[in-house]
């Protein structure tokens, strides 16, 4: 059965524009290199000088001039008037040398092994060239980035790390969704401050309070008698859209308060996750100056059937021959925990066939 979206629901793309269009990258902050992991680089990082700065030994052994000992072997040793200097891996090569003999290559005053120029040696700038651009602005700093940044002697780096106020709306009870979204915000390069609020006025004050760059309200976004998040946003600021043509997450809302964007997501895990991935993570990308996570193409191993008129968020998991759809609205936790990506079926599509290549947003 084909179901059209209600006229009261706005398209997902329009909601994303309403939430993020006015968002700008936050001001850079300088942090110690040890605190930069997972953060978003505020600008390009350029190596101040070459690494290594001069020819350097890559292994322990004897530093020699390769041309003077070429062809040496146990059967045709080359006698040296004085022992060649010993070098340890990582030490600069002595002047006039350009190769490292292994320890067994020199014995009893004689070179007994052949070597070639630059064997066992790293040349100046072989690891990093002077003035080389190592990281572009908007790059998320990963462990391998830290390896090269430490190698060039960097002690601190400029990053953009937006602060999101995560407001858990509703009565006090076990909350597993807000911590999940907080971890996903951290993975996207943001930081969080957690607040719990109940009732229209309390939630509204939580939305307007603090100094965060954006606000995420979890729960209470529906139209029930105990759902107060949209009314609280109207009290605190401006509701730009309440009800998105997206499933799960139809009751998601977007708006602004105190000059910052506000996203309301439902309290059910799969709906909250769908709303955050489709709207919240792109917002964080705008605030950090980073591109949103790139879409990956995979083969769909089982068909997806979708309703015309709605953007359908389908959770998927990677399998040996592609990705398998797990489901969307009403997906139980035991299935949701298997997901490592989502497919967003556009509102004009009825789904995808098995074997079709699809675009997957990684979690």
Strand order in the sheet with 99-101: 86-87, 61-64, 99-101
* Domain definitions of the chain by residue range: 12-26+161-288, 33-51+127-159, 56-122, 296-362
Which is higher by pLDDT, 193 or 174? 193
Tell me the DSSP string of 43-101. S-EE-SS-BSSS-EESSSEEEE-HHHHTT--SSS-EE-SSPPPEE-TTSBPPTT--EEE
Q: What are phi and psi of 197, to 5 degrees?
A: -145, 155
Contacts of 280 (CB under 8 A, 6+ apart): 181, 185, 216, 263, 265
Chain segment 176-205, per-residue pLDDT in tens: 999 999 999 999 999 999 999 999 999 999
Q: How confident is the model at residue 6 (pLDDT cuts 50, 70, 90)?
A: very low
C-alpha span between 302 and 352 (Å, rounded): 9
| pLDDT score of 264 | 98
Q: Which residues contact 142 (CB under 8 A, 6 or more apart)?
A: 37, 38
The answer to whether the beta carbons of residues 190 and 42 sit under 8 Å apart is: no
Q: What is the CA radius of gyration of the chain?
A: 29
Phi, psi torsion values for 242, nearest 5 degrees: -135, 105
Cα–Cα distances (Å) from 240 to 54, 60, 76, in that order, read 60, 67, 86
Write out the two tokens for 144: 């391998």
Q: Which CATH number fits domain 33-51+127-159: 2.60.120, 3.40.1000, 3.90.105, 3.30.70?
A: 3.90.105
- 357 has a pLDDT exceeding 70: yes
For residues 72 and 177, what is the distance between their CA atoms, to the nearest angstrom?
70
| Owner of token pair 């209600």 | 6
**Among candidates 284, 304, 306, which has minimal Cα distance to 293?**
284
Stretch (H or E) spanning 229: helix 229-236
d(C-alpha 173, C-alpha 21), whole Å: 35
Q: What's the pLDDT score for residue 44?
A: 97
pLDDT tier for residue 3 given thresholds of 50, 70 and 90: very low
Pick the CATH number of 56-122 from 3.20.20.70, 2.170.190.11, 1.10.357.10, 3.40.640.10: 2.170.190.11
Report how far residue 256's alpha carbon sits from residue 284's, in angstroms, rounded to the nearest whole number. Answer: 15
Q: What is the CATH number of domain 12-26+161-288?
A: 3.40.980.10
Helix 229-236, helix 200-208: angle, nearest 10: 50
pLDDT, tens only, 233-288: 999 999 999 999 999 999 999 999 999 999 999 999 999 999 999 999 999 999 99
Q: Which CATH architecture has domain 296-362?
A: Beta Barrel (2.40)
Confidence at residue 291, expressed as pLDDT on a 0 to 100 scale? 87
**DSSP per residue, 16-27:** HHHHHTT--PPP
- pLDDT for 172 equals 60
pLDDT in tens, 336-355: 999 999 999 999 999 999 99
């Amino acid at each position: 059965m084909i179901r059209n979206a209600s006229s009261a629901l706005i398209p997902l793309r329009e909601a994303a524009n309403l939430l993020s269009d006015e968002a700008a990258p936050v001001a850079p902050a300088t942090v110690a290199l040890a605190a930069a992991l997972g953060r978003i680089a505020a600008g390009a990082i350029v190596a101040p000088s070459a690494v290594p700065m001069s020819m350097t030994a890559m292994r322990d052994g004897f530093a020699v001039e390769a041309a003077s000992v070429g062809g040496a072997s146990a059967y045709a040793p080359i006698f040296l008037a004085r022992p060649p200097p010993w070098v340890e891996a990582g030490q600069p090569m002595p002047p006039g040398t350009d190769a490292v003999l292994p320890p067994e290559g020199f014995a009893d005053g004689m070179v007994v092994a052949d070597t070639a120029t630059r064997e066992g040696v790293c040349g100046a700038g072989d690891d990093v060239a002077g003035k080389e651009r190592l990281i572009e602005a908007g790059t998320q700093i990963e462990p391998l980035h830290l390896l090269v940044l430490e190698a060039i002697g960097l002690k601190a780096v400029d990053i953009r790390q937006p602060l999101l106020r995560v407001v858990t709306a509703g009565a006090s009870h076990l909350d597993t969704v807000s911590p999940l979204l907080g971890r996903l915000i951290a993975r996207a390069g943001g930081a969080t401050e957690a607040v719990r609020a109940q009732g229209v006025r309390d939630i509204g004050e939580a939305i307007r309070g603090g100094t965060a760059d954006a606000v995420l309200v979890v729960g209470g976004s529906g139209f029930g008698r105990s759902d107060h998040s949209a009314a609280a946003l109207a009290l605190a600021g401006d509701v730009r859209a309440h009800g998105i043509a997206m499933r799960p997450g139809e009751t998601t809302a977007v708006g602004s308060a105190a000059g910052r964007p506000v996203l309301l997501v439902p309290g059910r895990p799969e709906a909250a996750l769908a709303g955050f991935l489709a709207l919240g993570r792109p917002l964080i990308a705008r605030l950090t100056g980073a591109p949103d996570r790139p879409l990956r193409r995979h083969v769909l191993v089982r068909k997806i059937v979708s309703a015309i008129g709605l953007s359908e968020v389908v959770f998927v998991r990677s399998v040996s021959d592609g990705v398998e759809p797990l489901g969307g609205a009403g997906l139980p936790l035991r299935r949701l925990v298997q997901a490592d990506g989502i497919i967003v079926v556009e509102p004009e599509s009825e789904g995808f066939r098995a074997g079709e290549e699809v675009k997957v947003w990684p979690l």
